[in-house]
Structure formats: structure tokens, C-alpha cells
Structure 1
Amino acid sequence: MAGKKGNDSLLSLDAKEEGELPEALKRNLLLQQPDTFEKDKTDLSPKQVTPEPGFCVKTKTEKDEKVFINICKSENVPSPKDITDEQLQSILQSGDATHYRVPLSLGEPHIEKDNSNHDCTVYDVIVGSSFYDTIQSRPIMKDFLLTIVLEGLEEKYSLRLCRECKIMKNRKFLGNLPEQNVRKAPKPFIIEMEEEEGKGNSKNKSTAAVSTAPEPEYTIIREPLDGDIPEYLVMEIKLPKVSTSKAISLDVGVDRIEITVRPNLYHLHVDLPFTVESNETVAQFNRDSQILFVTLPVNGIVVENVL
């Protein structure tokens, strides 16, 4: 719900009122955390980014400690694919946020002084400039952003933040806006789900050219099912002998996918029915079900009339 108090906008993002965030939405957050990726200096290519002021949000911890969040913008952070309010509402209602990710950078906390000259904790969050412009006229998108920002900060820094957020009307940011190291995550990457504290691992390694390993059972689903060309191909690969994503290597080309599981447990090569955006592929390994989910954005070119 939204309301007013003084000169500041008040947003209620209370999980108790709206229901706990769906697991798919929480997994979405893991895709945005720079620290969930293994540190590979060659692949991650860190870049120092100076945040541009946007707006400031005030909230507090479960211990009643003041917290301010500077929502900033930068051209160096990519913006998500544009979707309509109706599409976003449908995603939130279905609980399937797997296919919609908002790239953002979560900065380290720093101590600043509030208007009463008291110490408070400040976090800087950077989103893409065009996405920032979009949320200014779309309340549902702004609420969605604030929800995943709060969830992201909680996940990264082991916090519990109040969902009663005040958007400061006359303040674009609090304190200083230090530079952030924004890393470009290697793609495709594998996020390991259900791991302790939600931390994930990523892999982006070439698979072996020849393998004697058995082929795992898999399915490919079009999404949406209707129409000549889907927006995504979603693969589900069953890996019953695998307990961690660290054993999995994933290689995606424009019209094929290859998966190898060490040591010689599985090998899979599949020619895809459509060409895909290999750099936008997202993979998630569920340790409980031992299933690897791979989402492949289709770029619209039919390779073979299957599915």
C-alpha cells in the first residue's frame, strides 16, 4: 500500500501483508549478486562505476536501527528487458520470476550522519539509467525494485529490514556516493539453489570434445507454448548422481548446448530448434531435486522445426 507522511512518500512492502516472496523471485535475486559468482579476474572484468544520484529510501532494521538506501543509476549497469505493468503483475501473481531479472549493484555499507546528526547506515544501489527513468512513472515497477533491493541487501548482509519504506522527497541521496566495482558476470553461469545462506556458484567452462559418459534424461519446453517462435526455451536436465554445481560445465552456442559433469558422470549435446542468445543464458541447479534448469532466450531464427 502507499500513503503520505510529511513530505515523504511511504511505501508498505510488508511480506506479512502481501505474503512471502515466491521462491522463484528469491532465486531471481541471486542472479543479481556480484558476490555469488566465483572470483575470476579474467572473466569478471571489474569496472569502477561512480553512481549518479536518484532517490533516497529510509527504513530500519529489526533492531530499530535507521537505514538509508540510495537508489542510484549508471549507464554502466545494464537495464532489464522492458515489460508492461500487466506482464509484471502476471509474473508476481504466478510466482515465476525466473525469466525477468533486474541487474543491479549492491554497494558496501557506510556510516553517515542523519538530519539529527546521529549515525546511520547507508547502502548504495545502482541500476541502469534507462530502467531508473522507467520506474519514475510506473509505481508497480518501483515497488518491485524496492522489494528486490530489500531482499538483496538482506541476503548479502544477513539483515532483516522493515518493509515500511519512506521515499525522501527532498533528498536524492544521503552522505557520499563512493565508486563501486561492478563486475560483469561470466555467462552462461550456474546458480546453485538451496545452498547455505543462498550463496551460489558459477561455471563457464568449455566441455570436452569427446565423452564416453552417459547422456542424462532431459526435456525442452517452449515458453510461451503458443505461437511459431517462443520467447524462451527451458531445459530440465535430470542429474541424479550430482550433488553440487561445481561438477557441472556448461557450454552454450548459438544453436546448441553442451553439458559435461565431472568425473565422466554425464555428457549431453543438444542441437537447438531455434538460435538463442547464448550470452543471456541462465542456469540454476537445484540440489534437492538434482535437476539443472537452463533458460535460453530465443532470438527468433528457426533452426529446425521440432518441439
Structure 2
Amino acid sequence: MDNKLTPNELLSHVNQFWSMLDDMAENSPESYQTFMQKHMKEGKELLVPPEPHLCLQTKILEPEERLVFINICKWKRVPAPQTDAHPVPLIAGKLDDVSEGRVVDIAYSPEMLKRADSDQVEQDQLIRLAMKYIEQEHKVTLCHSYHIAPFKLKGDLHRMRKSLEGIQKKPEKTKTKTEGGDEKSLLDQLKSIALKGEVEEEPSLPIYITDESNAKPVKAGLIEVISNTELKEEDLLSPPQHKLSVYENESGKPHKLILTAELQGVRSVTGCDLSVSKNDLMLEVPGKYRLHLDLPELVNEETVTAKYNKANNTLTVTMVVL
């Protein structure tokens, strides 16, 4: 018997959930605030950028012999495998050119790298899985002898993060106009809603790569590749019209940041996903808008407030500068 929900049934469940949150906001503000703070805190982890962990140096043998550096990075957006028998998830960047040769970035979960730091065998397995992925993805043959470089990262931090995150350009910090576009179909909106809780961890069908050269532990034979292009499907959504203002105190120092965003078609604040860290902000309305801003000042994420004006469909986010 097929227990899958139809699109109409799924939309009905989503509307019931929104109504429940609206009722909570009106009848139990404290519970609503606790609920929102909990989910904002969980969402902030997904906004933490990847960090360098170690750098490997080896060679590309074919099609042309060149030095290659492999930046092994840790990123909270990458989940740890469910068990030792499950595939090891990773996110990979492009194979870029540098002055000394080429460089590629591979991100694993912090949990996996922490375990590898205390287990030389496990570290070698992760390294060889990364090399196997590079060979299959980029159609190259690597020298499987490597050494760990004395530095953690080849190239600059911005390039590495841009490569892994798949960001095309830096978001504007001031008001930008949006171009009109056709709304997504009901099924596309439902897909965005249904996958909201999973898209950061499992955005697409995994690719399994079998490592036949090392049959020692079960988990060493599989990689689950999380495609960064699939991960960033939501980037195709247009940003809403918005304005980020910096307010100064009497001494002329930045005191607070206020973001106003026009969200046409949004019924209430419960239809928005808002996450704020010390240095950036992410606002998403599934199927409609996506806005990612680098904040010009560091803010206290614990004191962020958000209000939604139904009369003019405007969300106002207030952030206190540290």
C-alpha cells in the first residue's frame, strides 16, 4: 500500500502547520519565541563556513603531469555517516589552477575529521577516498603517494569557501531591485517545503564510488558525494527587495543594523526561515525568495528580533552590533 501524500494532502499539512505557528505566536508568545530561537540556533550551524583542516601534496600523472594540492576541510553542513557501514558524505569544489599546479577542496564532517586525527588508518582512508573521488570526477590519474603539507590550506580562504559553497558572486549589502519572474509551480513549492529539513544534508541522490583497491573496513569503500550545485538549487530563487541600514550611536560608532525586506505573497513570519550569525544573515521563503547577506558589522545573534507587518508584507530584522 502506497502511503505517500498527494500534493494537495501535503499542502494541507503545511497550511495546518503554519496555522499552528500563527496560533502559538498569538496565544503563547513565550512558547513561540522558544520554538523560533531553538530552530534559529540549529539553522546557524548550517551557515558556518567550511574551515581548513589539512593540506595534501601529490601529483597528477595523466593526462599531464602537474603538482596538485588537496585541501581537506571540515564543514558542519556535511553530515557524518549514519553508521560505519554507510557511505562517507563529502562536498567537493572545482579543480582550480594555482601558480604551482592545481588545487581542489574536499569537505568532510567535523566528526569524521576529529576521529581521523586520533586514528592514522582512518585518516589515510579519508585521504584515499578523496583521491578516488578526484580521479573519477575530474578524469585524472593521481600518484597515490602523498605527503601532508606544513600548512593547512593551499590558496586563500575566500577561494576555498567560494569553491565549496558554489557562490557565484558576493551578495549586495545595500538595497537591490529584483527582476520579476514566474512563480514556481505548486509541485516545485511543495518540493522546497518538503525537503526544507533535508536539503542541507542530502540535497540530491548520492553518488556511490566503490574503492576496489582497499577492501579492509566496510566504510572505506563508499563515498556519498553531496553535489554543491544541487546543494545550491535554492540560489536560483530571487532575493526580495530589501534594504540594510547601519545606525550609529552618539559617538559615531555603528550601534545596530536593520534589514527591511518586502515579501509579497507571504502570510506571516512563520512562512519565513531566518538565520543570523555574527557576520551573515540568511532569509528564505520556500519556493519564493532567498537572501544571503554578509553583514558589514559583527552582531549579537542572541538579541536578534524579527517582526512581520502583514499590512505591507514587510519583514523587519533588528541586529545589535557587538
When normalised by structure 1's length, the TM-score is: 0.37
- The higher radius of gyration belongs to 2
- Per chain length, whose mean CA-contact separation is higher, i.e. which structure has more relative contact order (CA < 8 Å, sep 6+)? 1
Structure with the larger helix share: 2
When normalised by structure 2's length, the TM-score is: 0.35
